[in-house]
Amino acid sequence: VIVPVVLAGGSGTRLWPLSRELCPKQLLSLDGRESMFQETLRRLERLGEVGRPVVVCTEPHRFLVAEQIRALGQAADIVLEPADRDTAPAVAIAALLAGGQDDDPLLLVLPSDHQISQLDAFLAAVKTGMVPAAAGNLVTFGICPEQPETGYGYIQPGQPGDSPAPAQSADAGAEGEYFTVRRFVEKPDAATARQYLAQGYLWNSGIFLFRASVLLAEVAAHAPEISARMLEAYRGRQRERDFIRLPEEPFTAAPTLSLDRAVMEHTGKAVVVPMACGWRDIGSWSALWDGGAADAQGNVLLGRVVSRDSRNCYARSTGRLLALLGVDDLVVVETADAVLVARREQAQEVRELVRELKKRG
Ligand code: GDD
Ligand code: MG
């Protein structure tokens, strides 16, 4: 049985002003339908034998998260973090909880800020990963990179793994392929990323598959502080219907560290399953422009927006009428109390902008 672990914390500041502390990007409905968090849970409906998902988020988002799960007709354990400590503590606590449900389940760790357009290819990759994961490896899913993106982890594949039983049907294609990981590097600088692209590295999709016990042993080996704090937090947990609350002190005392930096960069047990499933990380407004339905001028316009003599803009209005005239390559996002106007190529820097805004209060 696979227990899904859905990571739903963090605020996604690069989608400001739409994403706010009270409604981070993964809980927003970006195209007026389901949120990316809900799409993540939906993908599991076709995976077959899955256990009750463990969703990890922070306290202030608990009602929004619970409501979005209920709206899907699903149920989950919702772990409430007293504070954001990044993904290593979140995954470790989920492994402790899920490890208690079953003997030693496989955990499928799913970020909630992705879009996947080819569900079948994704499900096939997960099936492929089950073999090495059950054998005690930390399975990553690698994406063929398109540009030297600095916001991702990079994976250098090594030797092919033992191939599993021959494919049952012709359309299974290259299903079954996986490789050892020679190197895992989280968020390199641009020059290094360019080298990696030339050397055949893959992007880390941020989705992982492993046994709960294997992950816990690797966290204990490479991030003992996180391991100790999470064990304390787990022992002090309190259940209140679907919510699992963690005691503040041991949890917040843990270092803030991503699973990529805490474990994946150091472990000798990583394996990569290459995956071509139309994967996209919705990290910034330019990712939404890339994936949006553009008009003949390359503009992606959402809500009450009109444009004239403008090209390659992403413009979105949540209420007021927005008009573009004679501008190119802009991101314009209108909300009730804030408006963003930015060069599309600088969309990543919205994060720094928001940091500055927070400082000013
Ligand atoms: N529960 C919880 N607590 N979830 C968190 C926290 C936290 O403190 N911080 C982040 N998350 C969630 C986010 O909501 C997201 O769904 C997921 O964990 C990944 O966090 P991001 O902050 O979006 O990570 P990233 O995109 O910069 O990097 C990761 O994903 C890339 C691919 O999208 C890494 O795994 C990279 O190596 C990878 O390439
Ligand atoms: Mg992300």
pLDDT digit string, tens, across residues 175-207 = 579 999 999 999 999 999 999 999 999 999 999
Q: Return the best residue to mutate from 14, 87, 108, 197 for the ligand 1 pocket (most ligand atoms within 8 A of CB).
A: 87
- Mean pLDDT confidence for 288-307: 93
Q: Return the best residue to mutate from 19, 28, 40, 152 for the ligand 1 pocket (most ligand atoms within 8 A of CB).
A: 152
Check pLDDT > 70 for residue 173: no
Grade residue 235 by pLDDT with cuts at 50, 70 and 90: very high
Residue 172 has which token pair? 């299974």
d(CA 230, CA 227): 5
**Atom nearest to 86 CA in ligand 1:** 8
Which residues sit with their C-beta closer than 6 Å to ligand 1? 7-10, 26, 56-57, 81, 84-87, 90, 111-113, 151-153, 186, 203-206, 260, 281, 283
d(CA 135, CA 169): 24
Which residue lies with its CA nearest to atom 24 of ligand 1? Answer: 206
Q: What is the pLDDT of residue 99?
A: 84
Which residue lies with its CA nearest to atom 10 of ligand 1? Answer: 10
- Mean pLDDT confidence for 97-116: 89
Average pLDDT, the chain: 92
**Atom nearest to 112 CA in ligand 1:** 16
**Atom nearest to 26 CA in ligand 1:** 14
147-150: Cβ within 8 A, 24+ apart = 147/197, 148/190, 148/193, 148/194, 148/196, 148/197, 149/193, 149/203, 150/187, 150/188, 150/189, 150/190, 150/193
- Mean pLDDT confidence for 258-272: 98
The answer to whether 260 and 153 are in contact (CB under 8 A) is yes
Percent of the chain, pLDDT > 70? Answer: 95
CA atoms within 13 A on the CB side of 203: 18
Q: Is the ipTM of this structure higher than 0.95?
A: yes
Check pLDDT > 50 for residue 174: no
Q: Return the best residue to mutate from 6, 7, 59 for the ligand 1 pocket (most ligand atoms within 8 A of CB).
A: 7
Residue 133 has which token pair? 């994961």
Q: Are strands 153-160 and 179-186 parallel, antiparallel or unpaired?
A: antiparallel
d(CA 19, CA 76): 24
Grade residue 340 by pLDDT with cuts at 50, 70 and 90: very high
**DSSP codes of every residue in 301-314:** EESSEEEES-BS-E
pLDDT tens, position by position, 274-294: 999 999 988 889 888 988 889
Q: What is the pLDDT of residue 172?
A: 41
- Mean pLDDT confidence for 83-109: 92
| Spacing, Cα 87 to ligand 2 middle (Å) | 11
- Mean pLDDT confidence for 213-222: 98
| Spacing, Cα 112 to ligand 1 middle (Å) | 8
For residue 166, cis peptide bond before it (omega within 30 degrees of 0): no
Domains of the chain: 2-281 (3.90.550.10), 285-360 (no CATH)
